[in-house]
Amino acid sequence: MVDFFSLFYLKFMKDKKYLDEDYWTTNLQSGQMNAWRGYSFEQVCLYHIRQIKQALGISGISSSVYSWRSKTAEPGAQIDLVIDRRDDTVNLCEMKYSNQEYTITKNYDMELRQKRSAFYEETKTRKALHNTFVTTYGLAHNAYWGNIQSEVTMNDLFE
């Protein structure tokens, strides 16, 4: 079990003796805080895999769950969560924190395609690959949204 408050304390509070009264409001949108939000959201998702599978409608299907990092692809590829299902389907899950609907850009769409291709080539899987997003508020419906087979929101994690 992980204590998320302790992780936060060790990262932001420990050894910080002189924080002024405006520290949190002036640093709320800093790169360090945004990175922390993304990391924290990913950790919460990993502690709610059962709920993710339930939201996807696959809770009754036997599966292996792991993260994946390419060994040979250039540029390298990493997938936050792989749900390798017994029904010959693999969910390639990206976990993204955003304070609004997450928007997939043209460049990010190309990155997703590269990750999927690297996974396919390196694992030699013959299973169907489904791009899946786990986000705080869902995906914005734009030109690149259609390449995603399923999405899970923060609300699904706490049902």
Per-residue pLDDT tens for 68-122?
999 987 888 999 999 999 999 999 999 999 999 999 999 999 999 999 999 999 9
pLDDT in tens, 12-45: 666 666 666 766 666 666 667 677 788 888 989 9
Distance of CA 72 to the CA centre of its chain: 22
Q: What is the pLDDT of residue 38?
A: 82
C-alpha torsion 46→3→18→38, nearest 10: 10
Minimal CA–CA distance to 89: which of 61, 120, 127?
127
Lowest mean pLDDT segment, chosen from 5-14, 124-133, 143-152: 5-14
pLDDT score, position 5: 63
The 10s digit of each residue's pLDDT in 117-129 is 999 999 999 999 9
Identify the structural domains of the chain with CATH numbers, from first to last. Answer: 4-42 (no CATH), 48-157 (3.40.1350)
pLDDT at 126: 96
Q: What's the mean pLDDT in 134-145?
A: 96
CA 36: distance to chain centroid? Answer: 13
Q: Is 86 helix (H, G, I), strand (E, B) or coil?
A: coil
pLDDT average, residue stretch 130-147: 95
